[in-house]
């Protein structure tokens, strides 16, 4: 420990599920709708750099040091869905289980409940003829299932209902 280390404020810890949420709902939508060419180039030309890139961006947004081991747990997938649509799907680290079935609605919305993050399992950008769609498969608050969501170009976050099991093939089938 150096002489001045004891005077430094410790950096606040941000849980990995929160950083995953930030990637899914704040970082990636920007790239999906405003800089898709850069995202595609990164994923296609430097896939090992692409895997942790957006996690590092989320950590920087929160002003925390990214964890090198956590960064290795992100993985991009790329392929064709048919009918001219291409996908770029980000697989997030498996989130811890969440079950809010015992929490009252008043606690959920009134702040009386411990802050839980409904973390994503996957995000996918579908690209076709210069346009993009953006989907997220995240945790459901009750029952251990998933929720399928989309983010629109204007920023609206839409719940599309219960999602499939948290496997890439099932997610891609749901958004075809």
Domain count, the chain: 1
Packed helices 36-45 and 47-61: angle between N→C axes, nearest 10 degrees: 130
Determine the pLDDT at residue 31. 96
Q: Is 37 exposed, middle or buried (0-12, 13-18, 19+ CB in 10 A)?
A: exposed
Choose between 113 and 73: higher pLDDT.
73
Tell me which residue range forms the domain holding 132: 13-175
Whether the per-residue pLDDT at 12 is higher than 70: the answer is no
- Percent of the chain exceeding pLDDT 90 equals 76
CB atoms under 10 Å from CB of 170, counted, come to 15
Choose between 129 and 30: higher pLDDT.
30
Quick: pLDDT tens for 139-162.
998 888 999 999 999 999 999 999
Give me the chain's average pLDDT, please: 90
Quick: pLDDT tens for 39-65.
999 999 999 999 999 999 999 999 999
Residue 59 Cα distances to 28, 43, 102, 124, angstroms: 13, 20, 31, 20
Determine the pLDDT at residue 5. 54
Residue 4 lies in a domain: no
Closest CA to 29 of 160, 122, 152: 152
| 92: its two tokens | 């997030």
Whether the per-residue pLDDT at 128 is higher than 80: the answer is yes
Residue 118 lies in a domain: yes
Contact assessment for residue 10 and residue 64, using Cβ atoms and an 8 Å cutoff: no
Residue 2 lies in a domain: no
């Amino acid at each position: 420990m150096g002489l001045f280390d004891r005077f430094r404020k410790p950096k606040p810890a941000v849980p990995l599920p929160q950083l995953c949420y930030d990637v899914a709902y704040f970082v990636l939508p920007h790239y999906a709708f405003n800089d898709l060419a850069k995202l595609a180039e990164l994923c296609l030309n430097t896939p090992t750099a692409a895997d942790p890139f957006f996690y590092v961006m989320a950590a920087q947004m929160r002003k925390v040091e990214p964890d090198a081991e956590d960064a290795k747990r992100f993985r991009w997938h790329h392929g064709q869905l048919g009918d001219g649509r291409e996908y770029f799907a980000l697989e997030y680290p498996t989130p811890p289980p969440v079950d809010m079935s015992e929490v009252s609605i008043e606690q959920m919305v009134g702040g009386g409940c411990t802050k839980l993050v409904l973390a994503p399992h996957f995000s996918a950008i579908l690209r076709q003829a210069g346009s993009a769609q953006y989907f997220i498969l995240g945790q459901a608050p009750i029952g251990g299932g998933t929720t399928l969501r989309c983010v629109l170009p204007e920023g609206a976050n839409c719940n599309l209902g219960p999602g499939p099991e948290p496997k890439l093939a099932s997610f891609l089938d749901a958004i075809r």
